[in-house]
Amino acid sequence: MMNSNNNIFNATMENCFDSIMKLAGADEFKDTIKRLHVFLKNKEAYSLDDITLPNYLLIAKRGGGVTTLLNAFAEYLYAARAIEFCGTVKFFEFELGYVHPDAIFSELTRLDNTISSFAGHNRFFKGMICVNIEEWIEHTGDDHFIKLLNYISSNNDRLMIIFCIHNDSRNIVEAVESALSSHIRLESISLRFPGSNELVEFVESRYLKGKGLSFEKTAKETLRETIEEIAAEKQFNGFKSILRLADDIMYSVFTADTKIKKTISADMLSGYGKNSNYVKRAKAQKNAKKTIGFVERG
């Protein structure tokens, strides 16, 4: 029975690992998981229970697929029994608003209350939290920020913290790394957003391959040019913009005829070319909404 349970555990862990390796882009994150995968196997083989996992600093553009990555990471950690999970969710995201040094640090209270709310009927929440500290990147020396780090350090036995910032300036990143690593163990991960060719393959894999369909070469080129045109705009919202584009294209394709050819041609994407009205409307949109607060995930 023990061997059977271990086999199930190992199979689930490997499946979660494979799912992460299939994520579009995120090369540095995948490399981190590969090293973690080796460590967890060695931890089991050599009984390294006294060595805990680090926290992480994630440098990622808004809309860069952070929530998808976090969900995959939490599922992997759960399957690998790498950290203890206890509560109503495995992880949640929290955006820490800036508080002036002269004001009461209400955001830390809000974070603490949110953590407690996800404990459910348990005494404590145990799991992973992604704390967005973008508003603090130029205030890492403030007493409030130091208080945050002391709070996290004192609870690090039951919480893995993924700090997230969107600014990838080298000076900013180094300053944040220095502040964080002075209180907790830390690894940094830069999340590269996939290139246009990778995104075309992502759309084809997600929407077509399972249906026995594919894009013609010219259709891929049309889609690549459209993605590059949209991605160049300030209001580009990462994967959300790509998925919205893909949904609109698929709706158009599957409402044109009941008999769909096995290959999608460039003509079928004519309404979504880089000079189309669709792209002009997308470029005209201003002030894409900023995600605030937290998003819970199971």
Burial of residue 45 (number of CB atoms within 10 Å: 0-12, 13-18, 19+): exposed
Asked if 178 and 136 count as a contact pair (C-beta separation under 8 A), the reply is: no
17 within domain boundaries: yes
189 within domain boundaries: yes
Render pLDDT for 247-257 as a digit per residue (tens, 0 to 9). Answer: 999 999 889 88
Question: Looking at 174, 193, 212, which one is the last position of a domain?
Answer: 193
Q: What per-residue string of b and e applies to 252-291 under the rule 16 or more CB within 10 Å gives b?
A: ebeeeeeeeeeebebebbeebbbebebbeebeeeeebeeb
Nearest to 249 by CA among 200, 285, 196, 193: 200
How long a stretch of residues is the chain? 298
Asked whether residue 16 falls in the same domain as residue 158, the answer is yes
For residue 166, what is the DSSP state? -
Render pLDDT for 110-140 as a digit per residue (tens, 0 to 9). Answer: 999 999 999 999 999 999 999 999 999 999 9
295 within domain boundaries: no
Asked whether residue 253 falls in the same domain as residue 184, the answer is no
114 within domain boundaries: yes
Asked whether residue 62 falls in the same domain as residue 140, the answer is yes
Tokens at residue 205, please?
Answer: 């894999």
Asked whether residue 177 falls in the same domain as residue 60, the answer is yes
Torsion region of 293: left, alpha or beta (phi above 0 gives left; psi -120 to 50 gives alpha):
left
Asked whether residue 255 falls in the same domain as residue 268, the answer is yes
Render pLDDT for 181-206 as a digit per residue (tens, 0 to 9). Answer: 999 999 999 998 888 999 999 999 99
297 within domain boundaries: no
Asked whether residue 97 falls in the same domain as residue 153, the answer is yes
- Give bridge partners of residue 128 from the DSSP assignment: 91, 160
Question: Looking at 193, 208, 233, which one is the last position of a domain?
Answer: 193
User: What pLDDT score was predicted for residue 7?
Assistant: 60
289 within domain boundaries: no
- Extended beta strands in 142-210, E state: 159-165, 186-191
Asked whether residue 153 falls in the same domain as residue 15, the answer is yes
Question: Looking at 136, 163, 193, which one is the last position of a domain?
Answer: 193
Asked whether residue 174 falls in the same domain as residue 158, the answer is yes
pLDDT band at 296 (very low <50, low <70, confident <90, very high): very low
Render pLDDT for 144-186 as a digit per residue (tens, 0 to 9). Answer: 999 999 999 999 999 999 999 999 999 999 999 999 999 999 9
User: What pLDDT score was predicted for residue 192?
Assistant: 82
Asked whether residue 20 falls in the same domain as residue 165, the answer is yes
Asked whether residue 219 falls in the same domain as residue 96, the answer is no
Asked whether residue 218 falls in the same domain as residue 280, the answer is yes
CATH number for the domain including 269?
Answer: 1.10.8
